[in-house]
């Protein structure tokens, strides 16, 4: 019995897609007739965020909650001789004080390099390192109590420079920052990777042109607008709940158990909406351990909210990179050999540094064919806040250097820089020189798109002096092939649960940090089960009831969670199709679910409401639910040591053209406009993809022109002190600083991505920086091989080139063509 009214006018000419109904991967070719996928949609949390109702961690207040503060080291390097907390404990309103001795268990996000304690035990390693924590009735009291803690330090020589760190010998004058893990080693070297592929020296020697360059990428930090915040509650049943603004609830869950010596089954991690992260919240921090430990000590909930200053100390941001590159090509511009030497300034702890050291070399090998490649990358400890992963982890810095190298190569060969990149395009369905498997590859389309949109052919090398265009390309991973701790379990999973009303609950362990992953699974669920988007509830970020997802890092979620969600939804869909088919006496594949209805495909006038279809399925199969999961392929990388790092199930590709206007008298660079084309596989929601592209471009621009996470030297009065731990002094772009951004989406439809999708959150950052550097060269003839391209740095470079009058920007002909109409930044619309 089915209700068969006429076609619902609201559905219009809703296309019903051809579908095998057997749960196989979707035919992701064009015309596959999606109802939601590929179109702009509202986000599931859009209105909650726009009305101030979304509750972030600091918006949570629990009854009886205490507030805690952390005492931080004033020294960049010192031994802790003693800590006296008695006066702090005696202060009225103070409930507990903990020090490193209360949690003397080492941890680290990478299981092979555990080198930090929640609070320092015997040594502090940077100004801002945590030493003790106080829980009190309010923040003011906790702050007062911190001043009453007496810590006796023995200062040690601090090392702020990575080259000096390499030269340390463990003597009293030049002590190691961490003890060497093996006798006779330099304790300051956290990781060294040397890998070589193909015949680098031979090809280098035989090449037509070789370009050599030295580059420096200054460190930068994430500065999410939400400071880190955590609440711990240890309850009467011996269960610990930690709410935290984290990107990695699962890893936090594991580390809490190991450090606090608790059974992980007694721990629950809740991740409320996160107010921005960008990699800066992707490992455990002192505050999470402290709120937990202090709650265990007091039996009351405890909250810690970092000050903005503490966010700068927590850091884990972009490593400063010192880089040397030699790049060789034949006379047609085809790359022959690349030889790189990279020194990473890691700061005080390992963090993700093992991976960063690999990424510094491994991720450079696409989108260009490289017949031979060698890199030698070394990460060292220094007495500064630890560096870690920031959007484009480890590969933004080498990409800057390499894409400038390519520009120099093109100049030497008299080639158009876009042409040079085309000539070297590696294509799709291939392997890189370091044996990474590349599937879909839309890089050429990206180049075409920015070339056209920017008017490159008419304008590059032809703009008036001071004005220029620059191009760059890049690639990035859609998730890492392996989790940070080895295991065979799925990387991502989804659980679906259906109500008799037609409502579908999606239980997701992934971390919504603004990128839209909660919405993404809602779109997929609605698409696959044919329910309206409003029928989907996403319940996420709570380890007590969601399946494990490894976290919001390495641009893994759309690809992995998306596939997991399709897997779960298809299992459910099959049950629904079977049940309806039985009712209609047809074949299951003839039942289509879309827009709130189940349809009989051969005659779409015949249909029933989706809730009824679900009810039939529940009657036939029992309570309706399904789990789906995703794990990575295992054959997509080399089997040499380190060959798995950099491996990803799919790679995204990006091209940028930047236009700059340089004031050669002052060195002020105005980035007028950036065109960015990004191959995201398929844009599940183009609005969100554009948002990721625009945010990435903005962040790259910010690093290119403005940002520096830097520290004072001894000459500046206080060695190792953060130069500017505030949003006033560490300048990030305002609306007035940010250039116009034009986003151009390229869809290569990846064979393994969910509906063909790949990542969009990090890739589009990379090439913005070298594109700007190359544009500055087009405008002035001056090379910027050091970041940032701030007015003083650019002015200095111009002076070194002989001053404004001596500048000779490369031009295609003696008389430039008439000046193109200046793009009016204030009136031109943005977007494709």
Partner 1 sequence: MVKATTCIVHLRVNGDDYAPGVPSHYTLLETLRYAIGLTGSKQGCDKGDCGACTVILDGEPHLSCITPVLAAEGREIRTVEGLAGAGRPHPLQDAFDLNGAAQCGFCTPGILCSAVALLERNDNPSRTDIREALAGNLCRCTGYTKIYDAVESAAAVLRGQDGGTENGE
Which of ligand FES, partner 1, none sits in contact with 672, Cβ below 5 to 8 A by type?
none
Q: Which residue has the tokens 């992260």?
A: 277
Distance of CA 320 to the CA centre of its chain: 17
Using the minimum distance from each CB to partner 1, give the nearer residue, 419 or 740: 740
CB of 549 to ligand FES, least distance (A): 21
Query: By three-state DSSP, how is residue 298 classified?
Result: helix
Q: Which of 19, 345, 694, 707 binds partner 1 (CB under 8 A)?
A: 694
Give first-to-last CA distance, the chain, whole Å: 48
CA Rg value for the chain: 28
Beta-carbon count within 10 A of 525 CB: 28
Query: What residues numbered 61-80 form the site for partner 1, per CB under 8 A?
Result: 61
Q: Which of 128, 284, 479, 514 binds partner 1 (CB under 8 A)?
A: 514
Contact status: 55 vs ligand FES (CB under 6 A) = no
Using the minimum distance from each CB to partner 1, give the nearer residue, 143 or 257: 143
Considering CB under 8 A, how many residues would be counted as binding partner 1? 72
Query: What residues numbered 246-305 form the site for partner 1, per CB under 8 A?
Result: 273-278, 305
Q: Which of 690, 707, 747, 778 binds partner 1 (CB under 8 A)?
A: 690
**Quick check: 778 and 470 in contact, CB under 8 A?**
yes
Using the minimum distance from each CB to ligand FES, give the nearer residue, 47 or 225: 225
Considering CB under 6 A, how many residues would be counted as binding ligand FES? 3
Query: What residues numbered 647-706 form the site for ligand FES, per CB under 6 A?
Result: none
Using the minimum distance from each CB to partner 1, give the nearer residue, 286 or 310: 310
Which of partner 1, ligand FES, none sits in contact with 799, Cβ below 5 to 8 A by type?
none
**Quick check: 450 and 652 in contact, CB under 8 A?**
no
Name the residue among 450, 442, 431 with its Cα closest to residue 749. Answer: 442
**Quick check: 365 and 402 in contact, CB under 8 A?**
no
DSSP 557-593: HHHHHHHHHHHHHHHHHHHHHHHHHHHHTS-GGGEEE
**Quick check: 678 and 764 in contact, CB under 8 A?**
yes
Query: What residues numbered 518-537 form the site for partner 1, per CB under 8 A?
Result: none
Phi/psi at 510 (5° precision): -75, 160
Using the minimum distance from each CB to partner 1, give the nearer residue, 236 or 824: 824
Using the minimum distance from each CB to partner 1, give the nearer residue, 345 or 762: 762
Which of partner 1, ligand FES, none sits in contact with 726, Cβ below 5 to 8 A by type?
partner 1
Token pair in block for residue 586: 């047809």
Q: Which of 276, 465, 642, 643 binds ligand FES (CB under 6 A)?
A: 276
Using the minimum distance from each CB to ligand FES, give the nearer residue, 553 or 629: 553
Phi/psi at 467 (5° precision): -120, 140
**Quick check: 288 and 682 in contact, CB under 8 A?**
no
Q: Which of 515, 546, 644, 654 binds partner 1 (CB under 8 A)?
A: 515
Binding mask 498-517 for ligand FES (x = CB under 6 A): ----------------x---
CB of 764 to ligand FES, least distance (A): 16
Token pair in block for residue 206: 């035989």
Q: Which of 106, 308, 461, 606 binds partner 1 (CB under 8 A)?
A: 308
Contact status: 619 vs ligand FES (CB under 6 A) = no
Q: Which of 15, 39, 50, 817 binds partner 1 (CB under 8 A)?
A: 50
Using the minimum distance from each CB to partner 1, give the nearer residue, 463 or 526: 526
Contact status: 697 vs partner 1 (CB under 8 A) = yes
Name the residue among 689, 770, 696, 710 with its Cα closest to residue 738. Answer: 696
Phi/psi at 523 (5° precision): -60, -45
Beta-carbon count within 10 A of 588 CB: 18
Contact status: 816 vs ligand FES (CB under 6 A) = no
Residue 324 CB-density burial (10 A; 0-12 exposed, 13-18 middle, 19+ buried): middle
Using the minimum distance from each CB to partner 1, give the nearer residue, 815 or 821: 821
Phi/psi at 574 (5° precision): -60, -40
CB of 273 to ligand FES, least distance (A): 10
- Who's near 649: CB < 8 A, 6+ residues apart? 439, 478, 479, 481, 559, 560, 632, 633, 636, 752, 753
Residue length of the chain: 832
Cα(190)–Cα(177) distance, rounded to whole angstroms? 10
Contact status: 357 vs partner 1 (CB under 8 A) = no
Binding mask 213-242 for ligand FES (x = CB under 6 A): ------------x-----------------
Q: Which of 43, 318, 390, 783 binds partner 1 (CB under 8 A)?
A: 43
Contact status: 728 vs partner 1 (CB under 8 A) = yes
Using the minimum distance from each CB to ligand FES, give the nearer residue, 276 or 643: 276
Query: By three-state DSSP, how is residue 359 classified?
Result: helix
Using the minimum distance from each CB to partner 1, give the nearer residue, 24 or 734: 734
Contact status: 698 vs partner 1 (CB under 8 A) = yes
CB of 93 to partner 1, least distance (A): 3
Task: Name the packing angle between helices 610-621 and 557-584 (round to 10°).
Answer: 80
Q: Which of 16, 62, 89, 137 binds partner 1 (CB under 8 A)?
A: 137
Residue 695 CB-density burial (10 A; 0-12 exposed, 13-18 middle, 19+ buried): buried
Q: Which residues bind ligand FES (CB under 6 A)?
A: 225, 276, 514
């Amino acid at each position: 019995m089915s209700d068969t009214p006429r076609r619902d006018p609201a559905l219009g000419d809703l296309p019903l897609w051809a579908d095998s109904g057997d749960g196989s991967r979707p035919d992701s070719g064009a015309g596959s007739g999606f109802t939601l996928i590929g179109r702009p949609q509202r986000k599931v949390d859009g209105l909650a965020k726009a009305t101030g109702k979304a509750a972030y961690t600091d918006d949570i207040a629990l009854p009886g909650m205490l507030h805690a503060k952390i005492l931080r080291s004033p020294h960049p390097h010192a031994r802790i001789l003693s800590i006296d907390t008695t006066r702090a404990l005696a202060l009225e309103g103070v409930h507990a004080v903990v020090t490193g001795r209360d949690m003397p268990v080492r941890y680290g996000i990478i299981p092979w390099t555990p080198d930090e304690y929640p609070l320092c035990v015997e040594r502090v390693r940077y100004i801002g390192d945590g030493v003790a924590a106080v829980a009190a009735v309010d923040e003011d009291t906790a702050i007062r109590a911190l001043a009453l803690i007496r810590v006796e330090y023995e200062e040690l020589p601090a090392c702020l420079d990575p080259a000096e760190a390499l030269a340390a010998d463990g003597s009293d004058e030049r002590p190691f920052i961490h003890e060497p893990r093996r006798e006779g080693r330099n304790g300051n070297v956290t990781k060294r990777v040397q890998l070589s592929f193909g015949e680098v020296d031979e090809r280098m020697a035989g090449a037509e042109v070789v370009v050599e360059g030295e580059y420096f990428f200054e460190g930068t930090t994430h500065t999410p607008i939400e400071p880190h915040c955590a609440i711990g509650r240890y309850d009467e049943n011996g269960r610990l709940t930690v709410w935290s603004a984290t990107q990695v609830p699962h890893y936090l869950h594991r580390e809490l158990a190991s450090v606090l010596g608790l059974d992980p089954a007694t721990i629950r991690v809740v991740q409320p909406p996160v107010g921005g992260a960008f990699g800066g919240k992707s490992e455990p921090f002192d505050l999470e351990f402290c709120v937990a430990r202090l709650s265990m000590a007091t039996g009351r909930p405890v909250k810690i909210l970092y000050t903005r200053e503490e966010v700068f100390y927590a850091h884990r941001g972009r490593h400063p990179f010192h880089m040397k590159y030699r790049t060789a090509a034949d006379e047609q511009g085809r790359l022959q050999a690349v030889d790189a030497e990279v020194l990473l300034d890691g700061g005080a702890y390992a963090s993700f540094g093992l991976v960063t050291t690999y990424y510094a070399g491994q991720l450079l090998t696409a989108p260009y064919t490289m017949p031979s490649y060698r890199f030698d990358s070394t990460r060292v400890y220094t007495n500064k806040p630890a560096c870690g992963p920031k959007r484009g982890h480890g590969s933004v810095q080498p990409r800057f250097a390499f894409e400038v190298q390519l520009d120099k190569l093109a100049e030497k060969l008299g080639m158009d820089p876009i042409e040079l990149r085309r000539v070297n395009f590696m294509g799709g369905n291939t392997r890189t020189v370091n044996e990474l498997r590349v599937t879909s590859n839309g890089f050429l389309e990206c180049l075409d798109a920015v070339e056209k949109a920017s008017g490159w052919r008419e304008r590059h090398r032809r703009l008036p002096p001071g004005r220029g265009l620059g191009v760059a390309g890049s690639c990035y991973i859609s998730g890492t092939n392996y989790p940070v701790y080895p295991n065979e379990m799925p990387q991502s999973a989804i659980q679906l649960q259906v109500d008799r009303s037609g409502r579908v609950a999606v239980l997701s362990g992934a971390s919504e940090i603004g990128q839209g992953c909660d919405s993404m699974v809602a779109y997929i669920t609605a698409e696959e089960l044919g329910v309206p988007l409003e029928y989907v509830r996403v319940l996420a970020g709570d380890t007590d009831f969601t399946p494990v997802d490894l976290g919001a890092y390495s641009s893994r979620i759309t690809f992995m969670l998306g596939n997991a969600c399709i897997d779960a939804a298809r299992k459910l869909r099959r049950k629904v199709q079977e049940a309806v088919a039985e009712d209609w006496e047809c074949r299951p594949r003839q039942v289509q679910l879309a827009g709130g209805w189940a349809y009989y495909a051969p005659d779409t006038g015949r249909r029933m409401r989706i809730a009824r279809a679900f009810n039939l399925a529940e009657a036939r199969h029992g309570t309706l639910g399904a789990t789906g999961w995703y794990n990575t392929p295992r054959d997509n990388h080399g089997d040499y040591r380190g060959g798995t790092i950099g491996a990803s199930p799919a790679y995204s590709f990006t091209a940028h053209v930047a236009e700059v206007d340089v004031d050669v008298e002052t060195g002020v660079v105005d980035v007028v406009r950036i065109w960015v084309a990004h191959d995201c596989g398929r844009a599940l929601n183009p609005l969100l993809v554009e948002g990721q592209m625009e945010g990435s471009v903005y962040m790259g621009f910010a690093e290119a022109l403005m940002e520096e996470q830097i520290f004072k030297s001894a000459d500046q009065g206080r060695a190792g002190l953060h130069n500017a731990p505030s949003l006033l002094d560490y300048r990030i772009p305002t609306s007035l600083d940010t250039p116009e951004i034009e986003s151009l989406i390229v869809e290569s439809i990846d064979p393994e991505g969910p509906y063909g999708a790949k990542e969009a959150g990090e890739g589009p950052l990379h090439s913005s920086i070298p594109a700007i550097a190359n544009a500055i060269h087009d405008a002035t003839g001056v090379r910027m091989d050091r970041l940032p391209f701030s007015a003083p740095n650019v002015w200095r470079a111009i002076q070194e080139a002989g001053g404004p009058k001596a500048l000779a920007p490369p031009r295609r002909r003696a008389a430039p063509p008439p000046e193109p109409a200046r793009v009016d930044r204030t009136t031109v619309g943005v977007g494709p």
